[in-house]
């Protein structure tokens, strides 16, 4: 890393690392265009798996369910997680605040099998007691995913709040804004990036959750990861390759676009700051110190 | 008696004018820690008052209680006759300029300045009139649509000032208004800030730990230490007549000699000062019995240095030059006395040349002396 050059060893390590990360994805993309049904044999280029993918009702309805659950769970997680993060970061310490802080993050470290199982037990006993939820499906999966995602959102929002200058809120209060107004006009806009990344994180987590979902889904409500998993268990499937390729394409272009805009914004910002700094430079001559302080004695 | 400049800055007060802000017996405790300890203070209208003290002495806490961000444990705060001790911050006719400016990063300069006015529900055209008036005042018209991060430190400071003045508060609080600027910019901004504040005529309390800043900007200064307000006065009063050792040492440099009162007459006092190896004579009486333990404070610029022996008597001693700091128009001599005490004396650069004498250097023997109207007697 010194003088900007990579040693041969580092170069090699870099290449191996990238191969390790991307060869599997590349081979998946290549084989999605394979005409042969056998995944391991190249039978020429074809788009037939894409065509059959879009006719596969089971996969399409699983995608639709997964997307709906992901958006709904992320939305709920963002609301609850923001409130929890706010309490963790802003409220004075109250008895049990440490316990509360620890418990918020528990779903992140708890084995998902346990979270899933305990939720399942909860829903079953609720059904016996009050009759809802009547069946396992969208609602139960949504509750499970919200619980999981909320913990992540709370952590992200909290750390953003901790690094945000508390004086900004005090200043707003000083200028006459009441607490609720301050939250919506000052705090919320400033933590919006954290909330947005919490939302995206939640969507991702929910879209690819398999374990918790397995406990909470019922007949007729199969999410995308469940479909893929069950299909792949019966042998590799080119349709799934096609689906995965589309996913990679969507995610990849999203990342590239986001990076592009962020870089652009950063550059603009840097230029503006540099310009502002120059503004301080040309100034009046120095005022001699002695003429200011120290009143002389007669 | 001394400083025509300082007294000219003084607001018309003594003439029976009643205090505009009155802080009475205010205490703030955090757990068992007393951050502000029974502070009594009266501020007059149009005054620029500086709270000066070392780090952690409770300056910001006192300011935050005035702004309403903290509630006093005990005591009362009255502003313009109204008891505001328990008034919510958003209902107080007081605005504050924060230490790090606390400009809202997602709002433009204009929007920052308009924020407080919007909370008051002023009509749109009045808000924009007021905003442009403020931008004019701090000369930031050109930057109205910029975001705070597109501004330099000095410009941010001006926007913060404009924002805190926009609501025309009865009292303006400034917490280390220039603390975030570098030294050079600071000196220039001090004068700029005072000009603006005087133009607006707002009553102000500022907090600083820079004594030079306080002396330059304020009409009166309050010295704080460990939560207590030790002394309040004009810059020259505090410099010339400190009331305790802390103030004497905190404001400017001084030499302190401890001793017991040996002669106590109506118009003369003598103090036995072992560190001086002789007596300190003072040309006025003090209230206190003979034998009382006191300190005499002698400013370096009041000490005369001679290379020839002076007549024996009070207020003088022999010593050796230990160090000389040349500071251009004057030099500071560190003279070590027989007792080991090092005394600092400020000597004008042309002193030796005018007397036709050779300048003393390291390890030379010198005599220090001062007139008997120079020392200030401190009892605490
Ligand atoms: N919210 C708080 N909880 C507990 N202690 C506090 C709190 N705020 C201030 N203190 C304590 O009160 C004392 C005074 O603090 P304050 O901020 O008023 O000092 P300051 O004079 O403004 O110092 P500085 O010049 O460093 O800003 C400090 O010892 C500080 O630790
Ligand atoms: Mg402070």
Nearest CA to ligand 1 atom 17: B60
Q: Are both B331 and B215 inside the same structural domain?
A: no
Number of folded domains that form chain B: 2
B252 has pLDDT over 80: yes
B51 has pLDDT over 90: yes
Last residue of a domain, one of B233, B248, B263: B248
Tell which A residues from 231 to 270 touch B, by Cβ distance under 8 Å.
Answer: 269
E strands, B110-195, where?
171-175
Helices (H), chain A: 8-32, 48-53, 57-90, 97-109, 112-130, 138-163, 166-174, 179-182, 188-207, 211-216, 224-233, 238-279
- CA A40/CA A230 separation, integer angstroms: 20
Chain A neighbors of B119, CB-CB under 8 A: 175-177, 181
B54 CA: nearest ligand 1 atom: 25
Per-residue pLDDT in tens (0 to 9) along chain A, 298 residues: 455 677 889 999 999 999 999 998 888 888 888 888 777 788 888 888 899 888 888 888 999 999 999 999 999 999 999 999 998 888 777 788 888 888 888 888 889 899 999 999 999 999 999 987 888 889 999 999 999 999 999 999 999 999 888 899 999 999 999 999 999 999 999 999 899 989 998 998 999 899 999 999 988 888 999 988 888 888 777 888 888 898 888 888 988 998 898 888 888 878 877 777 776 554 444 444 444 443 433 3
Nearest CA to ligand 1 atom 6: B30
Q: Tell whether B242 is covered by a domain.
A: yes
Give the pLDDT confidence of B215-247 residue by residue, as tens digits: 888 999 999 988 899 999 999 888 888 888 888
Instruction: Give the chain A residue nearest B172 (alpha carbons).
Output: A174
Q: Are both B290 and B311 inside the same structural domain?
A: yes
Nearest CA to ligand 1 atom 14: B58
Mean pLDDT on B323-336: 88
Q: Crossing angle of helices B153-165/B124-137, nearest 10°?
A: 140
What residues have CB less than 8 Å from B21, skipping those under 6 apart?
Answer: B41, B42, B43, B66, B77, B78, B79, B80, B171, B203, B205
Task: Quickly tell me which residue has 């019922």 as its tokens.
Answer: A218
Ligand closest to Cα of B64 equals: 1
Q: Residue B215: which CATH number? A: 3.40.50.300
What is the value of pTM for the model shown? Answer: 0.78
Give the pLDDT confidence of A224-281 residue by residue, as tens digits: 999 888 888 887 778 888 888 988 888 889 889 988 988 888 888 788 777 777 765 5
Residue closest to A209 by CA, chosen among A196, A228, A190: A228
Nearest CA to ligand 1 atom 19: B56
Q: Are both B150 and B201 inside the same structural domain?
A: yes
What residues have CB less than 8 Å from A277, skipping those under 6 apart?
Answer: B152
Mean pLDDT on B120-136: 92
Q: Are both B159 and B112 inside the same structural domain?
A: yes
Instruction: Give the chain B residue nearest A178 (alpha carbons).
Output: B90
Q: Tell whether B310 is covered by a domain.
A: yes
DSSP character at residue B101: B
ipTM above 0.90, yes or no: no
Last residue of a domain, one of B248, B281, B300: B248
pLDDT for A4 equals: 64
- Phi, psi of B118, rounded to the nearest 5 degrees: -65, -40
Ligand 2 centroid distance, CA of B155 (Å): 22
- What is the number of alpha carbons within 13 Å of residue B333 lying toward its C-beta? 29
Give the pLDDT confidence of B67-107 residue by residue, as tens digits: 999 999 999 999 988 899 989 999 999 999 998 899 999 99
Instruction: Give the chain A residue nearest B65 (alpha carbons).
Output: A174
Q: Among B2, B90, B297, which would you mutate to test the A interface (most chain A Cβ atoms within 10 Å of its Cβ)?
A: B90
pLDDT for A35 equals: 86
pLDDT for A2 equals: 55
User: Does the distance separating the beta carbons of A170 and B102 come in below 8 Å?
Assistant: yes
Count CB atoms within 10 A of the CB of residue A216: 27
**B179 to A278, B54, B371: CA distances (angstroms):** 20, 14, 39
Chain B neighbors of A294, CB-CB under 8 A: 215, 239, 252
Q: Are both B336 and B366 inside the same structural domain?
A: yes
pLDDT for A93 equals: 76
Domain ranges, residue B299: 253-378
Q: Residue B317: which CATH number? A: 2.40.50.140
Chain A neighbors of B109, CB-CB under 8 A: none
Q: Tell whether B88 is covered by a domain.
A: yes
Q: Are both B190 and B310 inside the same structural domain?
A: no
Q: What is residue B202's three-state secondary structure?
A: coil
- Joined together, the tokens standing for residue B158 give 């001006």
Mean pLDDT on B192-203: 90
Ligand 2 centroid distance, CA of B173 (Å): 12
Q: Are both B93 and B148 inside the same structural domain?
A: yes
B61 CA: nearest ligand 1 atom: 18
Residue A282 in contact with partner chain B when CB distance is under 8 A: no
Last residue of a domain, one of B248, B266, B292: B248
Q: Tell whether B3 is covered by a domain.
A: no
Q: Are both B354 and B303 inside the same structural domain?
A: yes
Residue closest to B194 by CA, chosen among B59, B43, B9, B357: B9
Residue A168 in contact with partner chain B when CB distance is under 8 A: yes
User: Does the distance separating the beta carbons of A174 and B69 come in below 8 Å?
Assistant: yes
pLDDT for A283 equals: 46
- Joined together, the tokens standing for residue B90 give 């958003």
pLDDT for B356 equals: 81
Q: Are both B140 and B46 inside the same structural domain?
A: yes
User: Does the distance separating the beta carbons of A273 and B149 come in below 8 Å?
Assistant: yes
Q: Tell whether B1 is covered by a domain.
A: no
Q: Are both B200 and B289 inside the same structural domain?
A: no
Give strand pairing partners of B368. B305, B317
Answer positive or negative: Cα dihedral of B134, B139, B141, B144.
negative
* Domains, chain A, ordered by start: 64-222 (1.10.3720.10)
pLDDT for A187 equals: 93
Give the pLDDT confidence of B349-360 residue by residue, as tens digits: 888 888 888 888
Q: Are both B177 and B36 inside the same structural domain?
A: yes
Q: Tell whether B169 is covered by a domain.
A: yes
Residue A188 in contact with partner chain B when CB distance is under 8 A: no
Nearest CA to ligand 1 atom 11: B35
Q: Tell whether B268 is covered by a domain.
A: yes
Residues with CB under 6 A from ligand 1: B 30, 33, 35, 53, 55-61, 209
Q: Which of A279, A284, A298 sits opposite B188 (nearest CB)?
A: A284
Work out whether strand B269-273 and strand B255-264 pair parallel, antiparallel, or are unpaired.
antiparallel
Mean pLDDT on B109-133: 93
Q: Are both B244 and B257 inside the same structural domain?
A: no
Q: Tell whether B210 is covered by a domain.
A: yes
Count CB atoms within 10 A of the CB of residue B123: 9
Give yes or no for a contact between B231 and B41, defined as CB atoms under 8 angstroms apart.
no
B62 CA: nearest ligand 1 atom: 18
């Amino acid at each position: 890393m010194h003088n900007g050059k990579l040693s041969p060893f580092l170069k090699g390590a870099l290449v191996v690392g990238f191969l390790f990360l991307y060869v599997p994805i590349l081979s998946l993309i290549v084989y999605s265009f394979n005409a042969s049904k056998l995944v391991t044999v190249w039978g020429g280029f074809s788009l037939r798996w894409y065509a059959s993918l879009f006719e596969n009702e089971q996969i399409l309805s699983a995608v639709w369910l997964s997307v709906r659950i992901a958006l709904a769970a992320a939305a709920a997680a963002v609301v609850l997680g923001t409130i929890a993060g706010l309490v963790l970061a802003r409220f004075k310490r109250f008895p049990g605040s440490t316990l509360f802080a620890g418990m918020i993050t528990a779903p992140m470290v708890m084995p998902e099998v346990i979270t899933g199982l305990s939720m399942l037990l909860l829903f079953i006993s609720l059904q016996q007691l009050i009759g809802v939820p009547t069946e396992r499906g969208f609602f139960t999966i949504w509750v499970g995913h919200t619980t999981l995602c909320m913990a992540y959102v709370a952590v992200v929002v909290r750390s953003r709040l901790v690094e945000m200058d508390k004086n900004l809120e005090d200043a707003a209060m000083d200028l006459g804004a009441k607490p609720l107004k301050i939250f919506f006009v000052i705090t919320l806009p400033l933590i919006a990036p954290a909330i947005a990344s919490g939302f995206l994180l939640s969507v991702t987590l929910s879209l690819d959750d398999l374990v918790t979902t397995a406990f909470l889904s019922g007949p007729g409500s199969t999410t995308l990861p469940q479909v893929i998993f069950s299909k792949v268990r019966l042998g590799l499937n080119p349709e799934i390759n096609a689906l995965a390729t589309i996913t990679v394409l969507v995610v990849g272009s999203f990342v590239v676009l986001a990076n592009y805009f962020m870089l652009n914004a950063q550059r603009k910002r840097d230029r503006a700051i540099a310009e502002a700094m120059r503004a301080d430079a040309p100034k009046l001559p120095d005022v001699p110190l002695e003429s200011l302080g120290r009143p002389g004695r007669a | 008696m001394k400083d025509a400049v300082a007294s000219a800055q003084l607001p018309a007060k003594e003439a029976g004018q009643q205090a505009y802000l009155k802080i009475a017996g205010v205490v703030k405790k955090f757990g068992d820690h007393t951050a502000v300890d029974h502070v009594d203070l009266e501020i007059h209208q149009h005054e620029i008052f500086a709270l000066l003290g070392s780090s952690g002495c409770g300056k910001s806490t006192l300011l935050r209680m005035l702004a309403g961000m903290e509630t006093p444990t005990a005591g009362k705060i009255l502003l313009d006759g109204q008891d505001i001790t328990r008034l919510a911050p958003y209902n107080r006719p007081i605005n504050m300029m924060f230490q790090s400016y606390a400009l809202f990063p997602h709002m433009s300069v204009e929007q920052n300045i308009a924020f407080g006015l919007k909370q008051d529900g002023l009509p749109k055209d009045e808000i924009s009139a007021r905003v442009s008036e403020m931008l004019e005042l701090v000369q930031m018209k050109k930057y109205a649509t910029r975001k705070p991060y597109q501004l330099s430190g000095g410009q941010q400071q001006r926007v913060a000032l404009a924002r805190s003045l926009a609501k025309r508060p009865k009292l303006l609080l400034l917490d280390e208004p220039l603390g975030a600027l570098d030294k050079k910019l600071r000196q220039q901004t001090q004068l700029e800030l005072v000009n603006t504040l005087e133009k607006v005529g707002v009553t102000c309390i500022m907090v600083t730990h820079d004594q030079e800043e306080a002396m330059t900007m304020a009409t009166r200064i309050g010295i704080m230490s460990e939560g207590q307000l030790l002394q309040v006065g004009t810059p020259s009063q505090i410099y010339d007549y400190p009331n305790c050792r802390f103030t004497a040492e905190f404001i400017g440099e001084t030499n302190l000699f401890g001793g017991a009162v040996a002669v106590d007459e109506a118009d003369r006092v003598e103090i036995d000062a072992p560190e001086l190896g002789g007596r300190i004579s003072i040309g006025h009486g003090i209230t206190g019995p003979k034998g009382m333990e006191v300190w005499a404070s002698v400013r370096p610029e009041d000490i005369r240095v001679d290379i020839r022996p002076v007549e024996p008597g009070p207020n003088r001693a022999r010593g050796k030059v230990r160090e000389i700091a040349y500071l251009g128009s004057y030099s500071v001599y560190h003279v070590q006395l027989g007792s080991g005490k090092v005394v600092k004396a400020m000597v004008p650069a042309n002193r030796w040349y005018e007397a036709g004498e050779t300048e003393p250097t390291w390890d030379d023997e010198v005599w220090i002396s001062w007139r008997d109207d120079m020392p200030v007697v401190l009892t605490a």
